[in-house]
């Protein structure tokens, strides 16, 4: 067996190691060592957790009550919370009109 068949240089850390430090697949050994694969897996897991945390915070902000916000500020408030689009609302005002004075 030639030297190049027993060692391999990891594409991530650049270290030359014995093939036993690389995962074996149906197509041969991987080009990234086991240690780097493990590190990368952890990194992906961490960023997934961070992403979920962000999504949870955004959802919380969306759930915040809107009842105390004046209608003229509502669009700006919704935009701040990440909503986009058009808002329409109906405003009803009750007024008593004395029809006897009309004419």
- In the complex, which residues of this chain contact Zn ion (CB under 5 A)? 10, 12-13, 33, 36
**Structural tokens at position 28:** 């041969």
Residue number, 34 or 69, with CB nearest to Zn ion = 34
Rg of the chain in Å (alpha carbons): 32
- Helices and strands of the chain, counted as H and E runs: 3, 4
Smallest distance from the beta carbon of 3 to Zn ion, in angstroms?
Answer: 19
Smallest distance from the beta carbon of 46 to Zn ion, in angstroms?
Answer: 18
Residue number, 12 or 51, with CB nearest to Zn ion = 12
Nearest 5 degrees, angle CA 81-CA 84-CA 85? 140
Smallest distance from the beta carbon of 20 to Zn ion, in angstroms?
Answer: 13
């Amino acid at each position: 067996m030639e030297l190049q068949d027993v060692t391999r240089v990891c594409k991530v850390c650049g270290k030359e190691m014995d093939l036993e430090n690389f995962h074996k697949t149906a197509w041969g050994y991987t080009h990234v060592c086991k240690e780097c694969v493990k590190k990368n897996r952890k990194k992906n897991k961490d960023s997934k957790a961070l992403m979920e945390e962000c999504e949870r915070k955004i959802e919380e902000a969306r759930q915040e009550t809107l009842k105390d916000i004046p209608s003229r500020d509502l669009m700006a408030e919704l935009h701040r919370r990440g909503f986009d689009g058009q808002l329409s609302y109906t405003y009803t005002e009750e007024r008593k009109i004395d029809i006897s004075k009309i004419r």
